[in-house]
Structure 1
Amino acid sequence: MKSLKIWGIGALLSLAAPTISAQNGILFEGEVLQQAALSGESIARLSQPQLFGTARSMAMANAFASLGGDVASMSINPAGLGMYRHNELSITPLVTSSRSSNGAAGYDSNSKGRFALANFGVVYNLYEGTGRVVSVNMGLGYNRVADLNYRTSFQYDSSSRGGKAPTILDAMAGQLTANRMFPDSEGFLGYYGDSYPDLWGAMMAYNSYLINPVDDPDGAYWEADRVGVNADVGHFYDLESRGSVGEYDISFGLNIDNRIYVGATIGIRSISQRIRLYYGEDFLYDGAPAVNGSGQELIEQVDYMHYNQAADVNGVGVDFKLGVIYRPIPALRLGLAFHTPTYYSVDRTYAGQMAAMCYNNDDKKYYPSDVNTDGSWTDSGSDSYRFVSPARLMLGASYTFGRRAILSVDYQRDWYNGIRVKQTPFWIPDEAAYARSTLKRKFRATNTLRIGAEVKPLDRLALRAGFACTSSMVRHAELTGSAPLAERVCYYTAGVGFALSRRVSLDAAYQYCKTENSAYRLFYAAERTGDALAYIDASEPLSTDYARHNVALSLGVKF
C-alpha cells in the first residue's frame, strides 16, 4: 500500500491559483485532461449551428436567405416573414441518428439516436393595408440550432518498445510538479477548498496509488512510479453526449410595395448538454516483471486504472437577427441577413472519479483503490462562464420559374475567430486573458455555401433537394489538437411536400450530414513556441468523424 511518509515538501505547496490551459509555461490539455473547464474548443463546438428548421427548409439545405414565406425564416432571415399574407401554424418533429467513425478499433457503441422537436412556429398577420406598407407580420417560434446527441468509443495500444509508452499518469504527475502541489506532512492531498478542479485528475491519481512525489535534492517532483518502463499501455475511451442548443424567437416582418421586405428577430437561446466520459488504461508486461528506468523490479505495480468524468452545461443566451429581401423583378429575390454574436451565460457542473487495481510483487496480492477518489464542483452565479459566440452574415439569391420551380443559393460567413470569453470561474483567473490572446490564433472564419431547389410536377406535389458545405474553423491544427473540431461539414438533403388542401400541407425531409474533424489527442503536456507545440508527454493523434441522419416531418395549417 502507499506509504504515508513525511515528505518534508508539503511546505512547497504554492498558494497561486493554476490555470486550466498553461501551468508554469507548460500546456496540460487533451480531450480527457481538460474536461474540468469549458475550453475554447468546447465553446466553438457549442457555437456551431446545424441545418434544422421546417421540413421544407431542411430539404432545401436551409437556403432561405432570400426565399422567405416559411416559418424557418425567423431563424434565418426574418425579412421572409414579410411575405406572409395569412396566419400559419407549423410543427416539425424530428428523428436524428449519429454514428462516429474513429481512427482506432471499436470499444463500445458509436451510435446515438433520439426523437426531438426540430421546429415549431406561429405567424400572425397583424396588418393588411393598401398603401406602401402592404402587411406587417409577427412570428413566435422555436428552432433547434444544434443537436448534441452523439457517442464515440474506441481503444488502441501503445508499445513500450523504443521507450516508455505514453500514459496519462505521466501528464498528471507533470501537472502537480508544475504547480508545486504536494501532500502535507500526513500524506494528505485533498481536492476541495485547497485545490482546483483542473488538478483533480492528478490528485485522484495520487489517492488511487498511481503517482507519488519524489523528494529530490534538486527539487521535488512527481512520477508514475508504479508503471514500469517496459509496460505496453492499452487505452480505452468512451464519450457520450446528450443535449441540444435551441432558440426561442420573437420576429417581425414588414412588406413594402411587395418589393422590399425587412425583418428582425430577438432570439433567446438555451444550451443543455450532459457529457459522460470514461477513460481507462491497462498496463501489460507480456509475462515479464515490471521494472523502473534502472532495470530494478517494481515492488508495487498498477495493472489498470479507470477515470470517469461528468460535465453538465446549462445556460442561456440572446442574439438579434436583422434582414432584408429585395425583389427587383417578380421572379428574382435577393436577401441579406446579419446575426449578431450570441451573448451566453452558462453554469457548469463537473465531477470526477478514479479507481485502480495495483499488485504487490512481495505479497503477491492485488489491492484496489477505493478511498478519496471522487469529487464534484459547480461553477455558477458570479463564477459562471460568459462568452460570445461568432457573428454571422448571410447573402442569398433565388429565382422562381413560374409556379413550377425554384432555385436558391446562399453564402454564409461565421467569424469563429471572434469568439470572446467574458467571464470565467475564480479558479481560472487567467483564462479570459489567455482566451483573448489565443482564440484568434486557434480559429478562423468559416464559409458556407447552400444550394436548394424545388420542383412542382403537380400543383399539389413538390420535390426538393439541396446541398450545403462549410469550410474549416481551425486556423492552427497544432493549437486545437486537444479536441475534435469541424474541418469540413457537408449536407446532402432531399424531401417531398404535399398540399393536402388549400389550408393544410405535409412535408417530409431527409438530411445526411458528414462532419470531418481535425486530429486531436486524449492528453498531452507540451511547451508552445509560436503556433507549434513541443510535446513532453502525449498520446497518439487520433481522428473522429461523424455521420448524421435526420428525418423530419412538418404539418402546416393556414388560418
Structure 2
Amino acid sequence: MKKTLLASLALALGWGGTAFAQTEVDALRYSQIGVTGTARIQAMGGAQTALGADISSLSGNPAGLGMFRRSEFTVTPGVQSVNTDASIMGSRTSGSNSKFVFPQLGVVLSNRKGDSDASDWRGTTFGIGFTRLNNFNEKYTSYRTQSGELDPTLVEYFTDLAIQNGRDSLSLNREYRDGFTTLEGLAYGAFLFDVEGGEYYPLERFGQISHREEIRRTGSQNQLDIGVGTSYKDKLYIGASLGIVTVDFSQEVIYTEAEGDPTTPFTSLEYRDEFNTTGAGVNLKVGLIARPIDALRLGVSVQTPTAYTFDDEYQRIINTSFNDGVESAAEVPGQFSYRLVTPFKATGGIAYFIGKYGFITADVEYVDYGDAKFKEDDDFSSGGFFDDVNDGIATNNKSAVNYKIGAEGRFEVFRLRAGYAYNGELDNGSSYNAGFINYKYGATKHYTLGAGIRLQQFFVDAAYVHSQQDITYAPFVSGTSYTPYSPQGSGEPAVNIDRKQNSVLVTLGFNF
C-alpha cells in the first residue's frame, strides 16, 4: 500500500471537519461578486459607477442616488440556470440546476427641488434595496473505473489517514464506543480497515472498481442596502449606503465505490458529507460622481471590508455494503462559529453620452483578495487559531483588476443594450493553495444583452446574462486539475470543471 496519501478531497470539500475546513477558497467565495443589479444595469455588463439614476446605485455607487428626479419602485424577477461539465480520465458528465430568483427589489424616494429653487443643493434621495450578489446553486457528477489490485482507492486513503495520525486499535475502539469524530474513525466503524498488532489492513477488493462522485451546492449571498444621495449644482453628486449582507450556503457530497467481484464480501461503500453555513455581515459604501460637461460623467466609489459572522453545521456518514448486510457509521453532528473579513474594494467609472442617442460606460474595480482574514468568534483581533489559514490567504489570494463595459442605444421610448464584464485571474492563473491542493480558477467572463421601454410613469427592461468559467483543482504535485483523492505523486484522478451560468431577468419599474 502506498503511504502518505494526499488529503485532497478532505481539504477541498471539508472532509477534515468544518472547524478545520476554512481555506483561501472559502474566503474567495464571499469576496468575489459577479454582474448584479436591475435588468438595465446587468444588460450593460454591470457597469454603473459613473452612470447614476438607477436603483442599482445603492449597491454600486450610492452617489448615483443624487441624480434621481422622481421617486421610483422596481422589482426584478428572473430565471437562473447553472450548467457544469465535469471531465475525468476521458469521461465527461454534465449537471444542471435551474431556479426562479429575485435578483433585485427596491424603492427610492426623491425630494428633488423644483427648477425655480435657486439653491446649490438640489435635494436629497433616500433608497432601500435588495440585491442578490451571488448564486451558489450547482451540481455535477463524475464517474470512472479502475483496477482494485493496482490503484489505491478511498479505502486506502482512510487507512493511510489512520497511519498518518498514529491511530491504534485502542483509540479507534474508544471512538467506536463514544461517538465518531474523525474520518479514520468513521472508516473503522464502517469496517473499511482493521488494525491488529500494529499492522493496518484495508478491506480486500479485486477487479474493476467503479467510482461515482456527486456534489450538490445550494444557497445565495444577498445584500440589503440603505442609502442616501444628493446633488450639488447638478455637477457633483455625493452618496453613501450601508450594506447588510446575508449568506446561506449548503453542500452535499455523495461519493460511492462499487465492486462486482463475487469472490470478496465487499459490494460497495457510500461516503456522504453534509455541510451548511449561514452568515451575516455589514459594510459601508461611499461615492462621488462628477459631471464636468453634460456629455461626460466620472465616478468613483469605495466599499469598506465586509465583517461577517458565520455558523457552520456538518456531519459525515459512511455506509459499507457487504454480501450479507450493511455496516454504517455516522459522525457526531458538529457546529463551529467564526468570523470573516472580506477585502476593501475601489471602483472607478466613466460614462460618455452621445446626445439623445445613448451612451457608453465602463468600470474598473480593484480588489486585493489576499486581505481577507478569518478570526475566532470570541476574538475579533487577528491571530490565533486561524494563523496558518490567514497566512495562506495572504500568500495565495492575490489582487485582481476587474472591468466592465456597456452601452445603451436609444430611439424614442425604446432601448437596446449590450455589455461585457471580466473578473480577472489572480496573478497568472488564480492559484489558491489549501494544504496539499492547488485550486485554479480561470477568469469569469460575462456576456450581456438587453432591451427596454421607457414611458412616463412606467418602464420595463429585460436582460440576458451568460457567464462562463473554467475551474481546475489539482494535487499540489501536478497543479492541473481537481481531484477527489489522490495518492502522492500519482496526479490522478483529475476532474476539470466547465461552469456556465445563464440568467434571464425582467425589471418592472414605476415612477411616482
Name the TM tier (shorter chain): 0.7 to 0.9
CA apart distance, 1:236: 0.8
Secondary structure, counterpart of 1:175 in structure 2: helix
1:265 aligns with 2:241: yes
User: How far apart are the structure 2 equivalents of 1:84 and 1:503?
Assistant: 14
Secondary structure, counterpart of 2:314 in structure 1: strand
> 2:187: which partner in 1?
205
CA apart distance, 1:125: 1.5
User: How far apart are the structure 1 equivalents of 2:31 and 2:176?
Assistant: 35
Question: Is this contact kept in 1: 2:221–2:247, CA < 8 A?
Answer: yes
Of the three residues 313, 327, 334, the one matched with 1:370 is: 327
> 1:325: which partner in 2?
289
Secondary structure, counterpart of 1:492 in structure 2: strand
User: How far apart are the structure 2 equivalents of 1:510 and 1:186?
Assistant: 55
User: How far apart are the structure 2 equivalents of 1:430 and 1:174?
Assistant: 29
Secondary structure, counterpart of 2:223 in structure 1: strand
The 3 A distance-change label for structure 1 pair 24 and 305 is closer
1:178 aligns with 2:167: no
The 3 A distance-change label for structure 1 pair 122 and 226 is same
After superposition, where does 1:66-465 map in structure 2 within 5 Å? 66-104=50-88, 105=91, 110-126=95-111, 128=113, 130-159=118-147, 164-184=150-170, 187-190=173-176, 196=181, 199=182, 201-216=183-198, 222-223=200-201, 225-228=202-205, 231-283=207-259, 302-358=266-322, 366-379=323-336, 384-423=337-376, 431-456=385-410, 458-465=411-418
Of the three residues 471, 494, 505, the one matched with 1:552 is: 505
After superposition, where does 1:20-35 map in structure 2 within 5 Å? 29-31=11-13, 33-34=15-16
> 1:61: which partner in 2?
45
Q: Cα deviation per residue 1:291-347 (whole Å; 9 max; x = unaligned)?
A: xxxxxxxxx653321011111111101111111111121111111111112111011
The 3 A distance-change label for structure 1 pair 71 and 192 is farther
Question: Is this contact kept in 2: 1:524–1:537, CA < 8 A?
Answer: no
Q: Cα deviation per residue 1:423-448 (whole Å; 9 max; x = unaligned)?
A: 2699xx97501112111222112221
Once superposed, what is the RMSD of the aligned Cα atoms? 2.9
Of the three residues 446, 462, 469, the one matched with 1:508 is: 462
CA apart distance, 1:35: 6.3
CA apart distance, 1:182: 3.4
The 3 A distance-change label for structure 1 pair 246 and 374 is same
Question: Is this contact kept in 1: 2:250–2:277, CA < 8 A?
Answer: yes
Question: Is this contact kept in 1: 2:35–2:45, CA < 8 A?
Answer: yes
> 1:9: which partner in 2?
none
User: How far apart are the structure 1 equivalents of 2:17 and 2:492?
Assistant: 16
User: How far apart are the structure 1 equivalents of 2:344 and 2:171?
Assistant: 53
CA apart distance, 1:155: 0.8
Question: Is this contact kept in 2: 1:227–1:283, CA < 8 A?
Answer: no
Aligned pair count reads 489
User: How far apart are the structure 2 equivalents of 1:242 and 1:374?
Assistant: 22
User: How far apart are the structure 1 equivalents of 2:13 and 2:52?
Assistant: 41
CA apart distance, 1:488: 1.1
The 3 A distance-change label for structure 1 pair 31 and 388 is same
Q: Cα deviation per residue 1:334-391 (whole Å; 9 max; x = unaligned)?
A: 1111111211101111121111123xxxxxxx23333443442222xxxx02111122
User: How far apart are the structure 2 equivalents of 1:489 and 1:186?
Assistant: 45
| TM-score, normalised with respect to structure 2 | 0.88
The 3 A distance-change label for structure 1 pair 110 and 82 is same
Question: Is this contact kept in 2: 1:166–1:538, CA < 8 A?
Answer: no
Secondary structure, counterpart of 2:495 in structure 1: coil
Secondary structure, counterpart of 2:499 in structure 1: strand
User: How far apart are the structure 2 equivalents of 1:402 and 1:100?
Assistant: 43
User: How far apart are the structure 2 equivalents of 1:443 and 1:488?
Assistant: 14
Secondary structure, counterpart of 1:170 in structure 2: helix
Question: Is this contact kept in 1: 2:34–2:423, CA < 8 A?
Answer: no
Secondary structure, counterpart of 2:234 in structure 1: coil
Question: Is this contact kept in 2: 1:31–1:483, CA < 8 A?
Answer: no
Question: Is this contact kept in 1: 2:269–2:321, CA < 8 A?
Answer: yes
Question: Is this contact kept in 2: 1:317–1:344, CA < 8 A?
Answer: yes
| Percent of aligned pairs sharing the same letter | 24
> 2:477: which partner in 1?
none
The 3 A distance-change label for structure 1 pair 556 and 312 is same
Secondary structure, counterpart of 1:386 in structure 2: strand
User: How far apart are the structure 2 equivalents of 1:191 and 1:254?
Assistant: 67
Letter in 2 for 1:413: Y
CA apart distance, 1:249: 0.4
User: How far apart are the structure 1 equivalents of 2:112 and 2:270?
Assistant: 63
User: How far apart are the structure 2 equivalents of 1:267 and 1:222?
Assistant: 54
User: How far apart are the structure 2 equivalents of 1:488 and 1:192?
Assistant: 47
> 1:4: which partner in 2?
none
Consecutive unaligned residues of structure 2, counting only runs of 5 or more, are: 475-481
